[in-house]
Structure 1
Amino acid sequence: MKESKLESPRQINVFLAIIPFIVMIFSMYVAVVKFEIDPHVPLILGTATAAIVALICGYKWDSLEEFMYKGIKLALPAVVIIILVGLVIGSWIGGGIVATMIYYGLILLNPKYFLVTIMLICALVALAIGSSWSTMATIGVAGMGIGMSMGIEPAMIAGAVISGAYFGDKMSPLSDTTNLAAGLTHVPLFDHIKHMFYTTIPGLIISLIVFLIIGLKVIGNETLNDEEVNSMLNAMQDNFVISPWLFLVPVIVIVLIVLKMSAAPALFIGAMLGVLAQVFVQGGSLSTSIDVLTNGYALESGNESVDTLFNRGGLLDMMYTVSMTIVAMTFAGIMEYSGMLQSIMNQILKIAKGTFGLISATLASAFFTNATCSEQYISIVVPSRMYLKSYIDNKLHPKNLSRSLEDGGTLTSVFIPWNTCGVFIYGTLGVYAWDYGPYAILNFSVPIIALILAATGIGVKYITDSEKEEFLEDIYGSEQAKPASNEL
């Protein structure tokens, strides 16, 4: 296809700009809530509406195609990871790795304290490797199996896994979003991380307390059926070789990521180790192990609970997730590159006044970008470009902005079912955003804490007039190079 020259994004009337979003949300409500069907078609309707609005405003169809392709391109790294996670899940089930984790988890972990324990484990792992996705794809998958085997509601387990994984990701110096937020706002990395303590540590404490209460009051009232648990343990022993040596596989993957290997090759190595485990530990054939990578693992143990846990994984099992990601990013591409998102954000900037106004506008803008552009990286990039000079002009240190970008962007991405993070979580943990949302306690408590701090001034760092001039000079150079506060 011959590439067309793209028009420069122009200002589109804000009332026209919000029409695609309204259509998408309304159709999403009808399809998902009323009819309980998949969200793909509502996203396509939103994309079609955005395209019509852009055509009305003078864009050519060739340019709209390019906008969609650019949007999809942004999600390609996520698509690669999603596919690799499918391979990891299939091969780790076939290799008995997941079964080993669940087996020892059932023996060693107390259901009353399971949610607190799994959250802390995920937080520590994500802090060490800097990736919430890799943590959820490894520790999270095992945690879901263990918790469900204990009879704990999947949404609760997913909420604890997500809360822990995103805490560690947000506070890790190895995290890509953490480095992105610090870099875009010209804040030293560890200054950015220290400043996030004000909102994130209280969020962690609140989450742990809530999960402890749930464990003691809700799960604690339910007695574990020893006969059912023993039946599951026996079924796993009958169908898998259970060995503590199999813990080496996830440990190797985590160590590789700690040593700064990229997530994609580390997960691929993890998948190949799972294949080796299926062949040499479980005694499966090479052809069967390779087939599991594509079609997932199939088990008929006679125990319905065990079969539910292990009949999944493989590349094809992730195609629902991949397709939703691609469709969502076509909508995001048109909204971003046609200038519709910019038009909406400019209106928000006009009413953002003072410390509370700017911080609350940043949080709202990051969440809105997550919803419209379906990608958490964009929710950090766009508001950072939008608000940086406004923060400095109002004598607010840029690290207030970097913190707000993560509070409103990184953490809230999980609540949007069509965002790449919400899609990934469904594909990995098997729980929809509207189910785990109430239990992703850290993710919604931190933005609330951020608003309270903005209103009270606690934990807000200000700069002097001289520091303001230094920031402007360092970031924008001469007076002529400084952008207006409402420019992207």
Structure 2
Amino acid sequence: MDKAQEGVAASEPMVAHAILVVLGLFGLIAAGMVYLPHALQVVLFFAVVWVSIHARLLGFDVKAIRQMMNQSLSKALPAFYIFLLIGMVIASLMKSGTIAALIYYGLSWLSPELFLPIGFVLCALMSLATGTSWGTVGTLGLVFVGMASAVGVPLYWVAGMVISGATFGDKMSPISDTTNLAAMSADVNLYSHISSMLYTTVPTFVIVFVIYLTVGLGFESNAVVSENVLNMKAALASSFELSPWVTLLPVLVLFVLSFMRFSPEVSMVSAVFTAMFVAMVWQPVTFQEFSQALWKNSPVDIGHETLNQLLGRGGLYAMAWTLILAILAMALGGVLHGAGFLKAVLQGFVAQIKRAAHLVTVTIATAFMSILALSEGYVAIILNGQVFSKAFDKLSIDRKVLSRSLEEGITLTAGLIPWSVAGAFYTGALGVSVLDYAPYALLNWLNPLIAVVFAYLGIGLFRHKGLMQDR
């Protein structure tokens, strides 16, 4: 923020002051996770107050601090719109029988042994085609969650698998917003950025696939699992018209429009109206029932406890918890960024870096620290791109390594943080807490580690022609 323009006589924070603010922030959040695990919004409120007090000590008045929050929230408005639309998409797919049909036919051919590896690949492909991990988690992810209990696969493994696959596609898709933003922030060509990510992400994908396959081989079919599958299919067949030619139309519309690069808003609204048509004509569901579900869906009664809860998910009201958390997180990030606390901390680290592998490691680590503090990836990507770009030029490292590192430190790790916008959404959509699924979202935390190892081995560490410095 331009302080002169705002008319605020404020000073830049000293590095020691900025470190104190950030450490205090993390301490507050850590204590809140222990003592107030179900009131994360209240914890973030205290965190906003903590950071705002220190911004005031620098000379920013209340109006300027409010403006920092407003600017941050304005950048997140597109994400908030997606939040609300995904809530309605989920509810509409429940009422149209789309989710029920996907679960029914998925149970017919997906065995426990192959559940994790096949689900991982399918989620990756859908996210790669549509460019959105959120849309994948909110649709295909729900299907796998619904099938998990029937085939005897632990829910935390399933949620981790879904998020791993969805994040891979989101990271590698040329129509993903974070992919384009990372390339833009580092000032590199989009496809150069994607080709750079292939060096670290494809090996990670293969490793994760093998792990999911190995783990899946331990989930053997048995009489109990077979009985669960039959009971679930019977409950679905007795309560829904399941013809795939009709019930899958909303997902087809969503997929095709996303693939044709229509905006997410257009794709999702079109899917909702298609689902409404299918629900009212095919199931049938009344307009009043469908409209109520768009606001607040409720558990159904089809004779199967797991399905009763699953098919009652979605609606605008269901996204309120996530939306409030995101608003507070963005307000917090706005003050941290606007008052210069994060920039002061990051620049202190950058000034000490002399080796290329160290620079990649610090970039990924500080990108992760940024998402911890800012809670939302867009601002974190832009901030770190600005801070580290000259350091990469100084060491003659191609900036496509910078753009790749931004994705590995932010896009991949955002879903592993309970108070991040992504983490809050995944929890709300899948019904599994971040702390429960994070250890099993293998790609999300293995990819950054492999990227650091590769940097020290010199793999994918692209250089500018000219001066070649010691890595």
Q: By the TM > 0.5 criterion, same fold?
A: yes
1:447 lines up with 2:448 in the alignment = yes
Deviations 1:380-426 (A, max 9, x none): 11111111111111111111111111111211111111111111111
Conservation of the 8 A alpha-carbon contact between 2:25 and 2:51: no
Q: What is the Cα deviation at residue 337 of structure 1?
A: 0.5
- Counterpart in the other structure of 1:226: 226
RMSD: 1.9
- Counterpart in the other structure of 1:477: none
Cα 1:69–1:6 change in 2 (3 A) is: farther
- Counterpart in the other structure of 2:289: 288
- Counterpart in the other structure of 2:206: 205
Secondary structure, aligned partner of 1:225 = helix
Deviations 1:354-403 (A, max 9, x none): 11221111101110111111111122111111111111111111111111
Letter in 2 for 1:372: A
Q: Which region of structure 1 is more displaced relative to structure 2, 242-251 or 87-96? A: 242-251
Q: Matches of 2:297 and 2:411 in 1, distance apart?
A: 31
Q: Matches of 1:101 and 1:45 in 2, distance apart?
A: 43
Q: Matches of 2:305 and 2:195 in 1, distance apart?
A: 48
Secondary structure, aligned partner of 2:248 = helix
Q: Matches of 1:6 and 1:325 in 2, distance apart?
A: 29
The within-5 A match list for 1:72-471 is 72-217=73-218, 219-220=219-220, 224-245=224-245, 246-465=247-466
Conservation of the 8 A alpha-carbon contact between 2:95 and 2:275: yes
Q: What is the Cα deviation at residue 262 of structure 1?
A: 0.6
Q: Matches of 1:178 and 1:97 in 2, distance apart?
A: 30
Q: Matches of 1:201 and 1:267 in 2, distance apart?
A: 30
Q: Matches of 1:302 and 1:222 in 2, distance apart?
A: 22
1:21 lines up with 2:22 in the alignment = yes
Q: What is the Cα deviation at residue 455 of structure 1?
A: 1.1
Q: Matches of 2:96 and 2:104 in 1, distance apart?
A: 14
Secondary structure, aligned partner of 1:261 = coil
Q: Matches of 1:227 and 1:212 in 2, distance apart?
A: 24
Letter in 1 for 2:364: L
Cα 1:454–1:222 change in 2 (3 A) is: farther
Q: What is the Cα deviation at residue 10 of structure 1?
A: 4.2
Where does the alignment leave 5 or more consecutive residues of structure 1 unmatched?
A: 469-488
Conservation of the 8 A alpha-carbon contact between 1:102 and 1:145: yes
- Counterpart in the other structure of 2:54: 53
Deviations 1:94-127 (A, max 9, x none): 1111111111111111111111111101111111
Total equivalences in the alignment: 464
TM-score normalised to structure 1 length = 0.91
Q: What is the Cα deviation at residue 297 of structure 1?
A: 3.7
Deviations 1:171-216 (A, max 9, x none): 1111221122222222222222111111101110111011111111
Letter in 2 for 1:409: I
Q: Matches of 2:372 and 2:36 in 1, distance apart?
A: 21
Where does the alignment leave 5 or more consecutive residues of structure 2 unmatched?
A: none
Letter in 2 for 1:111: P
Letter in 2 for 1:281: W
Conservation of the 8 A alpha-carbon contact between 2:241 and 2:283: yes
Cα 1:172–1:381 change in 2 (3 A) is: same
Q: Matches of 2:268 and 2:406 in 1, distance apart?
A: 28
Identity within the alignment, %? 33
Q: What is the Cα deviation at residue 308 of structure 1?
A: 2.1
Q: Matches of 2:129 and 2:198 in 1, distance apart?
A: 17
Runs of 4+ in 1 over 6 A off after TM superposition: none
Deviations 1:291-345 (A, max 9, x none): 1100114312232122122121111011001010001111101001011111111
Q: What is the Cα deviation at residue 20 of structure 1?
A: 4.0
- Counterpart in the other structure of 1:486: none
Q: Matches of 1:53 and 1:395 in 2, distance apart?
A: 38
Deviations 1:60-83 (A, max 9, x none): 011111111112212211111011
Q: Matches of 1:258 and 1:100 in 2, distance apart?
A: 22
